A and B are shown apart, each in its own frame.
Chain A
């Protein structure tokens, strides 16, 4: 009998819930029962509540079992799970699970499906088709496809990617760079991590296309050091790409050169800001640079540089493969394509949900997420990371779309959603926003460096009830100064969570102590 293929994720979230033990126990149990099993360590399907999700490849498709612990393995064998047998943990055909089936997976098409570090698997699942098409186009035509797709920077700023690329392409220079901002430091975001661990070639392909489009020969992935699993996956994929002519001095025999290296950050949140990231790549303190000049004109080592987020670059292969029009047909208004929504915090079914823009927060929280993990009412959600606004229940019908969020003084950002139940104290969350800014401020500008520390002190007085009205006014004034006077988004956006908490959850700031 041919070996049955069993998939056990290598994604860090699955590992954090025991996937390594599960994989080893399956291997040992199979050996003891003299059954031939091939274990593939795939990425995650993104349904974290089912992790570790073990999948068995049957002729009819892949059947899942989850969440599996090492202690369940023997009973899975007893239930003949290798033939899709009945078991309490059997979740049926994985791609028919509504959470998964209702998604529009473009960027994440391969994540969870393939062996992330196998180039053969990547090629067998339409990998490198985008690059091959790009290599047959002129640089101007590549950029036109990206512009036509309507892709906007997924890191949070939502700047049109095609326009950024054109600026770099048009800047005359002997040396240009493509840099990927993989410093995914926002709480509640993990799409970059899942993509880099689950389909690292996709990012490498996107960067290679960008390099060909703008004439860059050197690329850097600036990865946060909190992601060791992604680091290993990226390095393995980069090695394989070099060995097979997808990176190096003669990409697929075209004579084009592109070298790529992963550089590790060192635990500084500010390095997710693009100019600070460039400083860090140059080996300096990650202090932000005033703009202009834009990095597209004067970026890394003073040269024209693309700085794009992981999701932006990983969306490029499918845009080149299927055309800008295909991608543009997803989404609403000026938010085109798909958003990789990350649902976390106090939620029953958290995970990665890739959907066309326009889905409402309520659908995500209840239809996908199934309500809070604690079973208590959801009171607040923070969207867009630690600098994003807190939204109350009355705003849950807001569609996930950049403009709709801007209209309610909120941020869509990188698409991270953190859920809180009714035990949350929003005055404490506002204080934490100031504290986080104080810890992570690079110190370059006064409103952020000093303002955040004063913010913590004033919030402490508010919380302890000292001269409360006066101090609440002071917080408002401080927020105004930070918002308008900071050099970058850290000091400039910290007021978003603070002010939204004060606006929507005033009672928490006026509680009797």
Chain B
């Protein structure tokens, strides 16, 4: 387990201190940490556990239960491509195959240049203009392979 650098350590401690008084504080704390660091580093687990008077196993169990929380550093941007039924009905498979080929990674992978992490998602609530994807919280509808390339090239520069 890599130790946290001092900035990350300060971030984790600050989030824990700010939120630990809330009832059911663990999810808000994990979101708070991931919002800043992009992931929840394994070395943050003892600090969180200590702050909430939980065991490390409890904290690890919660992190690993939820698809959204990650314990490794993501790429600069995260692409969430929807693979639920409504998107499938609009040929999501073509966009999916194209995306994997274009990015050179499968789901959960990070591109070699570190620009993108590619994740599946099960519905973005945009089912009347499928297929959909989200990049760092920005939603896109009717994502054909061509449109995927346009969106990706725009984000690559950011």
**Which residues on B sit within 8 Å (CB–CB) of A266?**
27, 30-31, 66-69
Q: CA–CA, A420 to B93, complex, Å?
A: 14
Tell me how far the C-beta of A350 lies from the nearest C-beta in chain B, rounded to whole angstroms: 3
B8 close to A (CB within 8 Å): no
**Which residues on A sit within 8 Å (CB–CB) of B128?**
13, 48-49, 190, 342-344, 347, 350-352
**Stretch from A131-139, A205-213, A278-286, A320-328 at the B interface:** A278-286
Contact B125–A345 (Cβ < 8 Å): no
Tell me which residues from 111 to 142 in chain B have a Cβ below 8 Å from any Cβ of chain A.
Answer: 121-130, 132, 134, 137-142
Tell me how far the C-beta of B20 lies from the nearest C-beta in chain A, rounded to whole angstroms: 10
B23 close to A (CB within 8 Å): yes
Q: A229 — nearest CB in chain B belongs to which residue?
A: B139
Q: CA–CA, A344 to B26, complex, Å?
A: 35
B42 close to A (CB within 8 Å): no
Contact B85–A263 (Cβ < 8 Å): no
Tell me how far the C-beta of A111 lies from the nearest C-beta in chain B, rounded to whole angstroms: 14
A419 close to B (CB within 8 Å): yes
Contact B129–A267 (Cβ < 8 Å): no
A140 close to B (CB within 8 Å): no
Tell me how far the C-beta of A37 lies from the nearest C-beta in chain B, rounded to whole angstroms: 25
Q: A15-B139, A283-B27, A350-B127 are in contact. Are A344 and B86 (CB under 8 A)?
A: yes
Contact A284–B26 (Cβ < 8 Å): yes
Q: A185-B123, A190-B125, A190-B126 are in contact. Are A284 and B62 (CB under 8 A)?
A: yes
Q: Which of A185, A265, A267, A421 has the most C-beta atoms of chain B within 10 angstroms of its own C-beta?
A: A267
B25 close to A (CB within 8 Å): yes
Contact A268–B65 (Cβ < 8 Å): yes
Q: CA–CA, A186 to B134, complex, Å?
A: 17
Contact A17–B141 (Cβ < 8 Å): yes
Q: B123 — nearest CB in chain A belongs to which residue?
A: A187
**Which residues on B sit within 8 Å (CB–CB) of A284?**
24, 26, 62
Contact A263–B27 (Cβ < 8 Å): yes
Contact A345–B62 (Cβ < 8 Å): no
Tell me how far the C-beta of B32 lies from the nearest C-beta in chain A, rounded to whole angstroms: 10
A108 close to B (CB within 8 Å): no
Q: A16-B140, A266-B31, A267-B67 are in contact. Are A227 and B125 (CB under 8 A)?
A: yes
Contact A12–B129 (Cβ < 8 Å): no
Tell me how far the C-beta of A316 lies from the nearest C-beta in chain B, rounded to whole angstroms: 22
16 contacts between A and B (CB under 8 A): A16-B129, A48-B128, A189-B123, A225-B68, A228-B137, A264-B28, A266-B66, A266-B68, A282-B23, A282-B24, A284-B24, A285-B62, A345-B85, A351-B128, A429-B85, A432-B88
State which of A51, A192, A268 has its C-beta within 8 Å of the C-beta of B67: A268
Contact A13–B123 (Cβ < 8 Å): no
Interface size for A (C-beta < 8 A) is 62
Interface flags for A240-283 (1: CB within 8 Å of B; 0: not) read 00000000000000000000000111111100000000001111
B55 close to A (CB within 8 Å): no
A371 close to B (CB within 8 Å): no
Interface flags for A336-352 (1: CB within 8 Å of B; 0: not) read 00000011111100111
Contact B65–A344 (Cβ < 8 Å): no
Extra pairs beyond A48-B128, A301-B24 (15, CB < 8 Å): A12-B125, A15-B138, A15-B139, A16-B140, A187-B86, A187-B87, A226-B80, A264-B31, A266-B66, A268-B68, A283-B25, A343-B128, A344-B86, A424-B89, A440-B122
Q: Which of A51, A229, A266, A282 has the most C-beta atoms of chain B within 10 angstroms of its own C-beta?
A: A266
Tell me which residues from 348 to 363 in chain A have a Cβ below 8 Å from any Cβ of chain B.
Answer: 350-352
A163 close to B (CB within 8 Å): no
Q: Which of B86, B123, B126, B134 has the most C-beta atoms of chain A within 10 angstroms of its own C-beta?
A: B86
Contact A226–B125 (Cβ < 8 Å): yes
Q: B133 — nearest CB in chain A belongs to which residue?
A: A16
Q: CA–CA, A185 to B132, complex, Å?
A: 14
**Which residues on A sit within 8 Å (CB–CB) of B66?**
265-268, 286
Contact A382–B85 (Cβ < 8 Å): yes
Interface flags for A207-239 (1: CB within 8 Å of B; 0: not) read 000000000000000000111110000000000
B47 close to A (CB within 8 Å): no
A408 close to B (CB within 8 Å): no
